[in-house]
A and B are shown apart, each in its own frame.
Chain A
């Protein structure tokens, strides 16, 4: 099982601290919901965890090895990263786009080996895209494209999935499907970290909660213990009511928190 460790990660951009002394240990088998207000550093943290951005201070280790020391293709085989609102640049067929997820598994030259075909079909079906398989990716709707990108991220069967708002733009049915799939990956022993804005979805599906506030880690732990009205007041500046637990959890926002 993989283990992703961040120790004292800090990052500054034009004098402003985007991430400030963030440390944690994440283990396979958990589905971590990364929450925080806009601009709290969620996307940056995911980029740092995936090795795309180098932190100014501190380091991230994957199974004990610093990310910077790993060969890029090796890292790409072990973790998948899904940015926020990804875009297809050419009208390639959906199956082509999904197959691009296998890039780090390919030889430098040559096409997809024949053995990948069933997995491709499976990945496309799993994201409910079979009807769109040969459609140009640029003609997909936003939600369909988001699902295609998720299939792209999952087809390589990475040990770690880092997804930046994978449910944004999805209709309720497909949002549920997506978090359900991420949860299933976690129960297979993989590590999933996803930035989520829908706290009800997070409360129902995630195993852990990680909250960022102005670049600092303000809460991290099993979701049942960490997701509290106090936390939401601190992180989002809202009064919220949290009802139920587990699959019946429900987070309702009442009003903006009054300045104290």
Chain B
């Protein structure tokens, strides 16, 4: 039977992948410095270090790859969390791992470790996100409500550590450095950063990708999901682990980037019949696409100081949030 509510299952993921690829290509060709596409492609292919080759392989390519990794992990985490918590406003920052990463990074900046060892900031941020995730896990593993509450508690605890670090910043410059780190950015990130984050992101996303059946069954509520043989406790723990690894590692190299994880699932949900498992793949692609788009914006919009990515995503995300509220009021029973 043909019906509008049953589009072919590859359609939405396929379309979002095309959007992602188009934006990825655009992000290689567009930048502050104009390099002709022919030179860029030649640069990608050649092993000689021409200027075009350097721009592409050392600046734009890592930037695009990082945007894809980070955007994808935010998009997937958001989709899984919204499915698990059955809450359209859930987003990866909810579990406290993003703020945990920020605390780690800020500690590194506070003590000037970043100047001694370039990867100190992402490494400490990673440690911070893991500690925050472990704390959320320790208090929130027993039920969904306690998971949300523990996440909120850990988030605000980490936020108060951040405020404390800013308060006692050794110099105005350090305070400035901390607050810019928290704004989130993809610029001046190298392949080393990617190598550091990629394994964690990959493992985290792999775990999250396996949650489809559980979050589908949760559409019936926890009791029925449980009665259908879903291990709820195990699901909660795995989701926390997956989000902790993927988003923790992503935030560690880029700083906090808001709204991607919240927005991406909403962009796809109506097109997949609201079925939670079917939002996962397209959300992953669109999360990456939205981040690439925002990053393109930071490069194309002419400003004197660099436009920070996290600031831009939040700025774009807020109107979306309003739209979401209006739409929910309309569709509420």
Contact of A168 with B by CB under 8 A: no
Known: A103-B228, A103-B230, A134-B3. A83 touches B217 (CB 8 A): no
* Assembled-state Cα–Cα distance A104/B274 (Å): 21
Q: Which A residue's beta carbon lies closest to that of B270?
A: A91
Contact of B216 with A by CB under 8 A: yes
Q: Which of A102-137 contact B (CB under 8 A)?
A: 103-104, 106, 108-109, 111, 134, 136
Known: A83-B223, A83-B224, A136-B274. A89 touches B86 (CB 8 A): yes
Decide if B220 touches A109 in the complex (CB within 8 Å): no
Among A72, A92, A152, the residue within 8 A (CB) of B274 is A92
Q: In the complex, what's the smallest C-beta–C-beta distance from A168 to chain B, in angstroms? A: 16
Contact of B92 with A by CB under 8 A: no
Decide if A111 touches B9 in the complex (CB within 8 Å): yes
Decide if A89 touches B226 in the complex (CB within 8 Å): no
Decide if B220 touches A97 in the complex (CB within 8 Å): yes
Contact of B212 with A by CB under 8 A: yes
Decide if A100 touches B220 in the complex (CB within 8 Å): yes
* Assembled-state Cα–Cα distance A100/B212 (Å): 12
Decide if B229 touches A104 in the complex (CB within 8 Å): yes
Q: In the complex, what's the smallest C-beta–C-beta distance from B299 to chain A, in angstroms? A: 37
Decide if B227 touches A50 in the complex (CB within 8 Å): yes
Known: A52-B223, A138-B333. A100 touches B217 (CB 8 A): yes
Known: A88-B220, A90-B219, A152-B220. A100 touches B228 (CB 8 A): yes
Q: Which of A13-33 contact B (CB under 8 A)?
A: none
Known: A90-B219, A100-B217, A103-B213. A81 touches B224 (CB 8 A): yes
* Assembled-state Cα–Cα distance A87/B220 (Å): 6
Contact of A86 with B by CB under 8 A: yes
Q: In the complex, what's the smallest C-beta–C-beta distance from B238 to chain A, in angstroms? A: 13
Among B4, B229, B275, the residue within 8 A (CB) of A76 is B229
Count class of interface residues, chain A: 35 or more
CB neighbours of B226 from chain A (8 A): 52
Most chain B Cβ neighbours within 10 Å, of A50, A86, A91 = A91
CB neighbours of B331 from chain A (8 A): 91
Q: In the complex, what's the smallest C-beta–C-beta distance from B254 to chain A, in angstroms? A: 31
Q: In the complex, what's the smallest C-beta–C-beta distance from A65 to chain B, in angstroms? A: 16
Contact of A139 with B by CB under 8 A: yes
Q: In the complex, what's the smallest C-beta–C-beta distance from B284 to chain A, in angstroms? A: 16
* Assembled-state Cα–Cα distance A123/B9 (Å): 23
Decide if A81 touches B227 in the complex (CB within 8 Å): yes
Among A74, A88, A104, the residue within 8 A (CB) of B219 is A88
Contact of A73 with B by CB under 8 A: yes
Q: In the complex, what's the smallest C-beta–C-beta distance from A45 to chain B, in angstroms? A: 15
Decide if B216 touches A76 in the complex (CB within 8 Å): no
Decide if A89 touches B216 in the complex (CB within 8 Å): no
Q: Which of B71-93 contact A (CB under 8 A)?
A: 86
Decide if A139 touches B227 in the complex (CB within 8 Å): no
Contact of A80 with B by CB under 8 A: yes
Contact of B210 with A by CB under 8 A: yes
* Assembled-state Cα–Cα distance A80/B224 (Å): 9
Among A50, A74, A87, A138, the residue within 8 A (CB) of B221 is A87
Contact of B28 with A by CB under 8 A: no
Q: Which B residue's beta carbon lies closest to that of A117?
A: B1
CB neighbours of B218 from chain A (8 A): 89
User: A132-155 interface mask toward B, CB cutoff 8 Å, 1 = contact, 0 = none?
Assistant: 001010110000000001001000
Decide if B219 touches A134 in the complex (CB within 8 Å): no
Contact of A68 with B by CB under 8 A: no
CB neighbours of A96 from chain B (8 A): 219, 273, 275
* Assembled-state Cα–Cα distance A136/B270 (Å): 11
Decide if B219 touches A83 in the complex (CB within 8 Å): no
CB neighbours of A88 from chain B (8 A): 219-220
* Assembled-state Cα–Cα distance A90/B272 (Å): 12
CB neighbours of B333 from chain A (8 A): 138-139
* Assembled-state Cα–Cα distance A87/B212 (Å): 20
Among B86, B223, B227, the residue within 8 A (CB) of A80 is B227
User: B87-111 interface mask toward A, CB cutoff 8 Å, 1 = contact, 0 = none?
Assistant: 0000000000000000000000000
* Assembled-state Cα–Cα distance A183/B224 (Å): 23
* Assembled-state Cα–Cα distance A73/B230 (Å): 8
Q: In the complex, what's the smallest C-beta–C-beta distance from B269 to chain A, in angstroms? A: 8
CB neighbours of B274 from chain A (8 A): 90-92, 136
In the assembled complex, 20 residue pairs joining A and B whose CB atoms fall closer than 8 Å, in A order, are: A52-B223, A76-B228, A83-B223, A83-B224, A86-B220, A86-B221, A86-B223, A91-B274, A92-B219, A92-B274, A96-B219, A97-B219, A100-B228, A103-B216, A103-B228, A103-B230, A109-B212, A134-B6, A136-B274, A138-B333
**B residues engaging A (CB < 8 A)?**
3-6, 9, 86, 210, 212-213, 216-221, 223-224, 226-231, 273-276, 331, 333
With contacts A89-B221, A100-B228 known, what are 14 further pairs, Cβ within 8 A?
A72-B229, A72-B230, A73-B229, A81-B223, A83-B227, A88-B220, A92-B275, A96-B219, A97-B219, A103-B213, A104-B228, A104-B229, A139-B333, A152-B224
In the A-B complex, the 7 residue pairs with the closest CB atoms: A76-B229, A81-B227, A73-B229, A89-B86, A72-B229, A104-B229, A103-B228
